[in-house]
Amino acid sequence: MSITDRLHKGMVIRHEGELFTVLDYQLAQTGKQKPTVHIKLRSLRSGHTGERTLDQLGKVEEVPSEVRQMQYLYAAGEEHVFMDTESYEQYPLNKDILEDGLDFLVEEETYRFLTVEGQPVALQLPPAAVLEVTETAPVEHAGGSSNVYKEAKLASGLVVQVPLFIKNGDKIRVGIDKREYLGKEH
């Protein structure tokens, strides 16, 4: 069975010693030409994304991977310590693996990690996170204006703009990509 037959989103491959995850792929065929497979990849080392054809990549090896649940324990200098919820093994991880997820980490919460050969290689965040507001100005009345915002510091340390009615202790949804307020959780 060729790599083309096994290709799927989320698959981890090794090319020239570096690990990549497949973000998307597409088979293109025009006329009598040989089909071309276009692949969008993300480097698990650098986080950079790029597109290549399977022919450009040459020799590609599929790497077995799985998703594991890990609890965030604490920060220790530049590293953040997580514990596998099944084996209880602890992993000190640096910001390269956590990427932009640092703004959404809350101690004692559980997160999903892509693991290769038993080692966490990438944090997998959902499109939005629910975080508690820990510091913000007192509740104010906007006087009819619904698009007035104030700063709020969240449990993870992230600061976002929120509507005036949000108060300390409220839980809000924050978009991962744009780091913006999406709504209040009830």
Average pLDDT score over the chain: 86
Angle (CA) 122 18 35, round 5°: 100
pTM of the complete model: 0.74
Quick one: pLDDT at residue 143? 55
Q: Where in the chain is the domain with CATH 2.40.50.140?
A: 65-124, 128-184
Q: What is the pLDDT of residues 8-28, one digit of tens each?
A: 888 888 888 888 888 888 888
Amino acid at the residue 137: A
| Topology adopted by domain 128-184 | OB fold (Dihydrolipoamide Acetyltransferase, E2P) (2.40.50)
For domain 65-124, the CATH architecture is: Beta Barrel (2.40)
DSSP secondary structure code for residue 87 in this structure: T
Task: Give the pLDDT confidence of 89-146 residue by residue, as tens digits.
Answer: 999 998 877 877 889 998 999 999 989 888 898 888 889 999 999 999 887 655 555 6
- Closest by CA to 40, choosing from 19, 67, 9, is 9
Within the chain, which residue ranges are assigned CATH 2.30.30.30?
3-63
Nearest-angstrom CA–CA distance, 97 and 95: 5
Q: What is the pLDDT of residue 54?
A: 78
Kindly state the helix (H) or strand (E) to which residue 135 belongs, with its residue range: strand 128-136
Would you call 116 helix, strand, or coil by DSSP?
Answer: strand
Determine the pLDDT at residue 44. Answer: 80
CA 173 to CA 184: how far, in whole Å?
A: 6
Of the candidate CATH numbers 3.40.50.300, 2.30.30.30, 2.130.10.10, 2.40.50.140, the domain formed by 3-63 belongs to 2.30.30.30
DSSP state of 100: G
